[in-house]
């Protein structure tokens, strides 16, 4: 399955590369688009950090926190999963200034996308923690561990391995949703593409190159998460055999 997927990725990348290389004068677009890609990558990375933090806090709060916090976590998850990412982005961008909170567009982008993906991630965290066998909890009680100790040393390390594949999907979702930030004036890859399109009208070349760049970043995420998964699974197996 994994091999098949890698073959597919290789085929796609190769043919996409051929298509791009066949464009006459495609070089002139590359520097500007790569600058845009850098912004896209920055937002993806920062958004991923926000998302992981929000997801862990909200996911654990939904399971273990006292009721006011639990309700807060549920409200956050439902609110951000129930509305569009674009609406959230616009809300933070246009409405927050009316409350006297003016944020940089970049901050808005990272916060909105991070919170959005974090809400989906919270369910991933909850699912992974819930999937740790009950016996593990019972064993921590038998060993007289506190709940925090049990979570930190026994439960979360096992849940972590199960979380990696769904997080990989979410990071790709995050990468794809960064294209939205072009609509709040951030000059990311999508924004650059539109700008160049309006000045040069070389639509086919520009948008194809942009799609290929997104694909390349997504492939890096896929490969990276796969490597992380193998490493984490290996580490867990070693820990168990001791």
Partner 1 sequence: MLWDWSYAFEILPILAQASLVTVQATLLGFVLALILGLVFALLRMARAPWIALPVSAFVEFIRSTPLLIQIFFLYFVFPEFGVSLDAFTAGVIALGLHYGTYCAEVYRAGLDNVPRGQWEASTALNLSPFHTFRDIIIPQAIPPVVPALGNYFVALFKETPLLSAIAVLELMQQAKILGSTTFRYIEPITLVGLFFLVFSLVAAALIRMVERRLNRIGAR
The beta strands (E) that lie in the chain are given as none
Q: According to CB under 8 A, which one of 111, 124, 177, 192 is a site residue for partner 1?
A: 177
Position 233 contacts partner 1 (CB under 8 A): no
Tokens 């290389």, residue?
21
Q: What 3-state class would DSSP assign to 22?
A: coil
56/120 with CB nearer partner 1: 120
Q: Which structure tokens are listed for 41?
A: 């990558």
Residue 69 C-beta: closest distance to partner 1, Å: 21
Q: According to CB under 8 A, which one of 197, 226, 228, 229 is a site residue for partner 1?
A: 197
107/149 with CB nearer partner 1: 107
User: CA geometry: angle at 190 spanning 186 and 191, to 5°?
Assistant: 45
Near partner 1 by CB under 8 A, which window of 28-36, 54-62, 103-111, 182-190?
182-190
Residue 24 DSSP code: T
Residue 212 C-beta: closest distance to partner 1, Å: 8
Q: Which structure tokens are listed for 51?
A: 């998302």
For residues 96 and 102, the answer to whether their CB atoms sit within 8 Å is: yes
Torsion (CA) 179, 191, 105, 78 in degrees, nearest 10: -20
- Considering only residues 4 through 23, tell me which ones interact with partner 1, judged by CB under 8 A: 4-5, 7-9, 11-12, 15-16
Q: Which structure tokens are listed for 147?
A: 């709940």
137/173 with CB nearer partner 1: 173
Q: According to CB under 8 A, which one of 50, 124, 170, 175 is a site residue for partner 1?
A: 175
- Considering only residues 36 through 55, tell me which ones interact with partner 1, judged by CB under 8 A: none
Q: Which of 75, 71, 63 is nearest to 131 (CA)?
A: 63
Tokens 């939205």, residue?
180
Distance from C-alpha of 181 to C-alpha of 203, rounded to nearest angstrom:
20
Position 91 contacts partner 1 (CB under 8 A): yes
By CB under 8 A, name the binding residues for partner 1.
4-5, 7-9, 11-12, 15-16, 78-79, 81-88, 90-91, 94-95, 98-99, 172, 175-180, 182-183, 190, 193-194, 197, 203-204, 207-208, 210-211, 214-215, 218-219, 222
């Amino acid at each position: 399955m994994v091999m098949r997927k890698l073959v597919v990725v290789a085929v796609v990348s190769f043919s996409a590369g051929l298509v791009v290389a066949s464009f006459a004068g495609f070089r002139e677009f590359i520097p500007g688009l790569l600058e845009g890609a850098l912004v896209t990558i920055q937002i993806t990375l920062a958004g991923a950090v926000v998302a992981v933090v929000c997801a862990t806090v909200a996911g654990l709060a939904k399971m273990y926190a006292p009721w006011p916090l639990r309700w807060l976590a549920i409200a956050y998850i439902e609110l951000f999963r129930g509305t569009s990412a674009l609406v959230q982005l616009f809300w933070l961008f246009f409405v927050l200034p009316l409350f006297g909170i003016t944020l940089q567009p970049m901050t808005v982008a990272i916060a909105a996308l991070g919170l959005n993906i974090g809400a989906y991630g919270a369910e991933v965290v909850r699912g992974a923690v819930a999937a740790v066998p009950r016996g593990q909890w019972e064993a921590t009680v038998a060993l007289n561990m506190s709940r925090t100790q049990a979570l930190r040393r026994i439960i979360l390390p096992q849940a972590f391995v199960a979380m990696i594949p769904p997080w990989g999907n979410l990071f790709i979702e995050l990468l794809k949703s960064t294209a939205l930030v072009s609509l709040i004036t951030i000059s990311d890859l999508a924004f650059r593409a539109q700008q160049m399109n309006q000045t040069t009208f070389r639509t086919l070349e520009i948008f194809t190159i942009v799609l290929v760049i997104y694909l390349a970043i997504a492939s890096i995420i896929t490969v990276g998460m796969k490597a992380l998964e193998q490493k984490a699974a290996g580490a867990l197996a070693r820990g168990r055999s001791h």
